[in-house]
Amino acid sequence: MPELFLELFSEEIPARMQAGGAADLARLVGAALAPLAPTALETFHGPRRIALRADVAAAVAASATVERGPRASAPEQALTGFLRKHGAAREDLRQEGDYWVLEKRAEAVPAAALIAAALPALLRRFPWPKSMRWGGASGFTWVRPLRRIVCLLDGAVVGFDLRDGADDGHGLASSDLTEGHRFHAPGAFAVTSAADWADKLGHRRVLADAAERKRRIATGLAAEARARDLVLVEDAGLLDEVSGLVEWPVPLLGRIDPGFMDLPAEVMQVSMRVNQRYFALRHADGGAAPFFGFVANIEADDGGAAIVAGNERVLRARFADARHFWDLDRKTPLAARVAALDGITFHAKLGSQGARVRRLRGLAAHIAPLVGADPAQAARAAELAKADLVTGMVGEFPELQGVMGSYYARHDNEPAAVADAIRDHYAPKGPGDAVPAAPVSVALALADKLDQLAGFFAVGERPTGSGDPYALRRAGLGIIRIVRENRLRLPLLGCIEAAGAGFADAGIAPLPATEILDFLIERLRVQLRAEGARHDVLDAVLALGRDDDLTRLLARLEAVAGLLGTADGENLLAAYRRADNIVQIEAQRDGQEYDAIDPARFEAPEERAVGEAIGALSGVVAQALAEESFAAAASAMARLRAPLDAFFERVTVNAPQPELRRNRLALLRAVRETMRQLADFSKIQG
């Protein structure tokens, strides 16, 4: 199959838009050229270009179709509408029986003709998140000025241009010319294929493959760090961004002025990352190293010495700004900043950050004894938790909220547990973040997230299928992770009610706590599904009723899953289903339940064995469940498997004698109810 190669060469494309632009190009080209059945499609993206290659058919084959039109006796308007729809004339029709018939013939279309016809309109409507218009009267827009279009089919140029009407001033036309590195290899050169393009770009200091640029940056910086016995701080987001800023990455290290090494490591890292796209380095023991990594886009004749010196000079200025905020902020204690939070809006419907702090203070103190924390310390941490929002450092670097509060609290001689809680109360922010573990930190982190949920739910700002602007799903997952990973025995309903009560002073009526608990249970379901756990087992456990102790709920779930993962459990589940079906059908037929078992009516040894097993198990299971020994309860239930198998093999449940039948149905109902103490096994699928 012929190879289609398309490159769109422009001024610098923002790094965050490159991968999406390449994906959109593949999607749109695939749809527009669907008649050519494109395969083996591959995309490329970089600072000044997005491109794709694909194998396509040489032509769209000729075709003929027959369309049946209106009846011959239909009104003239119906026939006119049919002709208009198909772009046909009256003489193109023929009559077959009672109907008019139109035979449509399509000539074969060469691939080059289809491509040339499809691409101009495709490029004119390209969905960049932001585009710009340039070039006088032209209505054409692109993310940045588009300079060249390479479009080749088996090495031959597919000719088209971007004019849209006679008065459109944008006459950029396709060709086989592209450009290499702006400084190392300026000027145009011709290419004949995707492979030839990538090879010639490589000789002109451009790496077309984004993954290769990323690899070269990561390995190059890591090697530079190792040469000084240092470790590069991993930062996947920064690596992605920098790989979209350079065409020919040259990793380099610069030195940090010793006078700035007393700044908090987080301040240095964020300042370098946000302002300069620099990478932080650490000593082997985790301490901040007096070096930074960065990536140049050229190979300098002096080995990069002048580039390094220039970047060191810029960083000194950045760190001087950070030093100013660091020194100035510490002159005002955090406690003295709390009053200023009344002037900062948390949310239009929920009031100020000051009001939120007052709620958190009470809620954290409420939660503290439930998680082994000192209520006074939890309340103090809550009081100071948001105070760093009014500091200069957090105003400059919002990413440091919480972190700076912790540093300033230590400077103010607050207890270490309070300072740590201020730092940790936003955590976890993402799935890769550690959860708070210290009791005061746990209390404040839970309070922060429960206040979010209670408040936003109360004012109708719930997450929807299309959005979650206040990150409430993340808050819910954070609560679940804190509880799970710390194995907390926390009565969530009471905590949710306490969170809702905090809004009473603002006249905001809370939702029932059960609604927020249901939201958390649904987040737990999503998390378990992502971990590969069986969602039907969770349904079986939840069918017994809400349980606001997630640790207990998960222990029960684990016990049920463990039982079902054994041969005894599988057979017991089959027996349960059989017993449940029989009891339901007969109870509906008779219009009654079967409650009382009369051991005197047992005739077969198999039914007597089941009755004895149920009698022996009832106390064991009840005690195990009362002690929350769910695995022991499940293990005990497994002992029902053998007598039940024998019962269904040898005993006729619907015996001719009514009393014997009712007794056997009551026995099966007892089996069902005994097992339902652990879970509703009717919810198990498969």
Q: What is the pLDDT of residues 43-54, one digit of tens each?
A: 999 999 999 999
The per-residue pLDDT for range 627-684, each reduced to its tens digit, is 999 999 999 999 899 999 999 999 999 999 989 999 999 999 999 999 999 999 999 9
Q: How far apart are the C-alpha atoms of 246 and 46, rounded to whole Å?
A: 8
Q: How many angstroms from the chain centroid is the CA of residue 94? A: 58
Q: How many angstroms from the chain centroid is the CA of residue 563? A: 32
Residues of the chain with pLDDT > 70: what percent?
A: 98
Q: Where are the domains of the chain?
A: 3-59+111-203, 63-106, 210-329, 335-531, 561-683
Which of 293-297, 578-582, 645-649 has the highest average model confidence (pLDDT)? Answer: 293-297
**Region for residue 229 given its phi and psi (left: phi exceeds 0; alpha: psi -120 to 50; beta: otherwise):** left
Whole-angstrom CA distances from 485 to 488, 520, 554 are 8, 16, 12
Q: How many angstroms from the chain centroid is the CA of residue 346? A: 25
Predicted local confidence at residue 208, as pLDDT: 96
The burial of 212, by beta-carbon neighbours within 10 Å (0-12 exposed, 13-18 middle, 19 or more buried), is given as middle
CB 410 within 8 A of CB 419: yes
Predicted local confidence at residue 487, as pLDDT: 96
Sign of CA pseudo-dihedral 458, 460, 464, 469: negative
Q: How far apart are the C-alpha atoms of 532 and 541, rounded to whole Å?
A: 17
Q: Is the pLDDT reported for residue 495 higher than 90?
A: yes
Residue holding tokens 């096994």?
Answer: 681
Residue 590: pLDDT band (50, 70, 90) is confident
Residues of the chain with pLDDT > 90: what percent?
A: 78
Predicted local confidence at residue 177, as pLDDT: 98
| Segment among 168-177, 232-241, 319-328 with least mean pLDDT | 168-177
Determine the 3-state secondary structure of 531 from DSSP: coil
Residue 557: pLDDT band (50, 70, 90) is very high
Q: What is the mean pLDDT of residues 510-531?
A: 92
34-40 long-range contacts, CB within 8 A, separation 24+: 35/60, 35/109, 35/114, 36/60, 36/111, 36/114, 36/115, 38/4, 39/1
117-121 long-range contacts, CB within 8 A, separation 24+: 117/160, 118/32, 118/33, 119/6, 119/29, 119/32, 119/151, 119/158, 119/160, 119/174, 120/160, 120/161, 120/162, 120/163, 120/164
Q: Is the pLDDT reported for residue 488 higher than 60?
A: yes
Which positions ≥6 away from 674 have C-beta within 8 Å? 614, 617, 618, 621, 637, 640
| Segment among 252-256, 277-281, 408-412, 573-577 with least mean pLDDT | 573-577
Predicted local confidence at residue 321, as pLDDT: 95
Q: What is the mean pLDDT of residues 213-227?
A: 97
Which positions ≥6 away from 257 have C-beta within 8 Å? 312, 315, 316, 319
Predicted local confidence at residue 135, as pLDDT: 65
Predicted local confidence at residue 534, as pLDDT: 83
CATH hierarchy code of domain 561-683:
1.10.730.10
Q: How far apart are the C-alpha atoms of 674 and 686, rounded to whole Å?
A: 22
Longest dimension (CA), the chain: 103
Q: Is the pLDDT reported for residue 237 higher than 90?
A: yes
Q: Is the pLDDT reported for residue 173 higher than 80?
A: yes
Tell me the chain's radius of gyration from C-alpha atoms: 36
Strand partners, 152: 5, 157
Give the closest residue to 269 by CA, choosing from 259, 258, 256: 256
Residue holding tokens 């017993």?
Answer: 579
Q: How far apart are the C-alpha atoms of 251 and 260, rounded to whole Å?
A: 23
Predicted local confidence at residue 137, as pLDDT: 54
Q: Is the pLDDT reported for residue 532 higher than 90?
A: no
The per-residue pLDDT for range 136-162, each reduced to its tens digit, is 556 789 999 999 999 999 999 999 999
The per-residue pLDDT for range 347-399, each reduced to its tens digit, is 999 999 999 999 999 999 999 999 999 999 999 999 999 999 999 999 999 99
How many C-beta atoms surround the C-beta of residue 161 within 10 A? Answer: 14
Q: What is the mean pLDDT of residues 429-456?
A: 96
CB 221 within 8 A of CB 293: yes
Q: How far apart are the C-alpha atoms of 67 and 79, rounded to whole Å?
A: 13
Number of H helices, E strands in the chain: 25, 21
Which positions ≥6 away from 310 have C-beta within 8 Å? none
CATH hierarchy code of domain 335-531:
1.10.3210
Q: Is the pLDDT reported for residue 591 higher than 90?
A: no
In this structure, the chain runs to a length of: 686
Residue 595: pLDDT band (50, 70, 90) is confident
Q: Up-side HSE of residue 102: CA atoms within 13 Å toward CB?
A: 19
CB 412 within 8 A of CB 335: yes
Q: How many angstroms from the chain centroid is the CA of residue 666? A: 50
Angle at 112 between CA 107 and CA 114, to 5 degrees: 55
Predicted local confidence at residue 346, as pLDDT: 96
Residue 686: pLDDT band (50, 70, 90) is low
How many C-beta atoms surround the C-beta of residue 415 within 10 A? Answer: 16
H helices of 87-169, where?
Answer: 111-124
Q: Is the pLDDT reported for residue 455 higher than 80?
A: yes
Predicted local confidence at residue 166, as pLDDT: 56
Q: Is the pLDDT reported for residue 272 higher than 80?
A: yes
Q: What is the mean pLDDT of residues 618-624?
A: 89
Higher pLDDT, 137 or 275: 275
Q: What is the mean pLDDT of residues 61-66?
A: 75
Give the closest residue to 472 by CA, choosing from 482, 480, 462, 483: 462
Predicted local confidence at residue 503, as pLDDT: 94
Q: Is the pLDDT reported for residue 89 higher than 90?
A: no
